[in-house]
Amino acid sequence: MNKKGQATAFVILGIVIFALVSIIFYVRQNVFIAPSEANLKAELDSIKTNLESCVKKTAEDPLRQIGLQGGYLEPKQDTYRLFNDTKISYLCYDIANTDQCSNRMLLLDDIKKQIDEVIYQKLISSDCFVSIKEVPVFTGLRNYNIITGKNPVVDSDIRRDNVLIKITYPIALQSKRSATKIEARDYNAIVNYPLGDLYEVSQDILDFETQFGEFDQLVYMLAKKGEYRIYKQRPYPDKLYVLKKADNDYIFQFMIQGEPGK
């Protein structure tokens, strides 16, 4: 028993010594020695990667929501129909006694403004930026200071196959032991949702519905060589169009208002 107890004590002592040596090495390397520009760049690259990942996760839900709700994050009263617990916006209003409808004229820039605002609000209330000053673990033992701006600037770019979220937010790492300083201001996160592409398809449908009435989705899908999936439902008296690409599960859907009794 004594030998076992002694062996255990030596193991514990070894662990303690290893931990102390590691801490001393870390403190020596990260407190008393001035960081090189390469060291600061590596730290900043890590911060940038984590920030862009956080921005991407923050953007995914509102981007999906805007697709499911027909281009509007907060549809106003009488501008949508509640269908399967989702507020699906009318993008074309009924014209009495005709087969045509009146285009609501949703612009891509209108969608962009909503995306920019909601992502901004989510970012300033999230830990995406707060956590920057909390890494690495030994925050008080760093040999550099982290200097940041106040609030981010969000500028989205809705492209055919994805949405680029551009963030402007100054982050600087300043050595505590020298004049060495490195800074970054711009960060990009790409969400692979084909919002721009499906928006264009929705406009093709709306153009036809406003001019002629009933849109034939089968003819359209054949003409586009199966690139898109267009599903049409008829929750009386309206029409629901559900759009997606063949190689992506992202959905853009919208309502066309119908006339009761027609």
Statement: the pTM of the whole predicted model exceeds 0.95: no
The confidence score (pLDDT) of residue 179 equals: 87
- Inform me whether the pLDDT recorded for 119 exceeds 50: yes
Percent of all residues in the chain with a pLDDT value above 90, rounded to a whole number: 69
- Inform me whether the pLDDT recorded for 74 exceeds 70: yes
More confident residue, 260 or 31: 260
Considering the chain, what is the average pLDDT of its residues?
88
How far lies 137's CA from each of 4, 51, 79, 134, 242, in Å?
36, 17, 50, 7, 47
**Residue range 135-143: average pLDDT?**
56
The confidence score (pLDDT) of residue 239 equals: 97
- Determine the Cα–Cα distance for residues 55 and 152; give it in Å rounded to an integer: 11
- Inform me whether the pLDDT recorded for 135 exceeds 80: no
pLDDT band at 31 (very low <50, low <70, confident <90, very high): very low
Residue ranges of E strands in 95-214: 101-103, 144-148, 153-158, 163-175, 181-191
The confidence score (pLDDT) of residue 131 equals: 65
**Residue range 58-83: average pLDDT?**
97
pLDDT band at 126 (very low <50, low <70, confident <90, very high): confident
Tokens found for residue 104: 């609501």
The confidence score (pLDDT) of residue 258 equals: 95
The confidence score (pLDDT) of residue 201 equals: 98
In tens, the pLDDT along 179-193 reads 889 999 999 999 999
The confidence score (pLDDT) of residue 27 equals: 46
Dihedral angle of Cα 110, 115, 120, 121, to the nearest 10 degrees: 90
SS3 164: strand
How far lies 205's CA from each of 67, 81, 87, 213, in Å?
16, 19, 20, 10
In tens, the pLDDT along 231-258 reads 999 999 999 999 999 999 999 999 999 9
- Inform me whether the pLDDT recorded for 4 exceeds 90: no
The confidence score (pLDDT) of residue 92 equals: 98
The confidence score (pLDDT) of residue 18 equals: 56
The confidence score (pLDDT) of residue 2 equals: 59
The confidence score (pLDDT) of residue 128 equals: 84
- Tell me which residue of 142, 170, 165, 175 sits closest to 56, measured CA to CA: 165
In tens, the pLDDT along 197-233 reads 999 999 999 999 999 999 999 999 999 999 999 999 9
DSSP string, 189-211: EEE---HHHHHHHHHHHHHHHHH
- Inform me whether the pLDDT recorded for 140 exceeds 60: no
